[in-house]
Amino acid sequence: MNSPRFALVLLCAILVCSATAGNGQSPEMRAKAATLTHTRAHELNGFLLRQDRKAVEAALGKPFHEEKGSHDTTAVAYHLPGSKEDYLVAFYFDGKNSELQGKVVQLELTGSESSGPTGFFGLQLGDSAQRVEFTLGKPTKISHEDDVNLDLWDYASENYTLEFTSSHRLYSIQIIDQPGNDPPGFAGSEEVRLFAQAVQSQDVDKMMELVSGEIECSTTEAFGIQSGSARKVLSDANSPVSLCLQRAAKAIMTLGPQMKGVEDEIRMWTKHTPGTVTKFPESSPLKEVVFDQEAGAFRVYEVTFR
- Here the contacts of 237-240 (C-beta below 8 Å, separation 24 or greater) are 237/202
Does residue 24 surpass a pLDDT of 50? Answer: no
Mean pLDDT for the stretch of residues 217-239: 95
Which backbone phi and psi does 14 adopt, to 5 degrees? -75, -35
Mean pLDDT for the stretch of residues 32-49: 72
Given this model, what pLDDT does residue 37 score? Answer: 43
The pLDDT-based confidence of 272 (bands split at 50, 70, 90) is confident
What is the SS3 string spanning 197-245? HHHHCCCHHHHHHHEEEEEEEECCCEECCCCCCHHHHHHCCCCHHHHHH
Over residues 85-128, the pLDDT tens digits come to: 999 999 999 988 678 899 999 999 999 888 778 999 999 999 99
Given this model, what pLDDT does residue 229 score? Answer: 96
> Given 3-state DSSP classes, what are the helix, strand and coil percentages for the chain, each rounded to the nearest 5?
25, 35, 45
Pairing of strands 297-305, 211-218: parallel
Out of 3.30.1280.10, 3.40.50.970, 3.40.50.620, 3.40.33.10, select the CATH number for domain 43-176: 3.40.33.10
CATH assignment, 7-40+181-305: 3.10.450
Given this model, what pLDDT does residue 14 score? Answer: 36
Handedness of CA 279, 283, 287, 291 (dihedral sign): negative
The domain segmentation of the chain, as residue ranges, is 7-40+181-305, 43-176
DSSP string, 31-43: HHHHHHTT-S--E
Does residue 27 surpass a pLDDT of 90? Answer: no
Q: Answer yes or no: pTM beyond 0.75.
A: yes
Given this model, what pLDDT does residue 30 score? Answer: 43
The pLDDT-based confidence of 12 (bands split at 50, 70, 90) is very low
Chain mean pLDDT for the chain: 87
Given this model, what pLDDT does residue 15 score? Answer: 37
Mean pLDDT for the stretch of residues 41-70: 95
Over residues 124-148, the pLDDT tens digits come to: 999 999 999 999 999 999 999 999 9
The pLDDT-based confidence of 181 (bands split at 50, 70, 90) is low
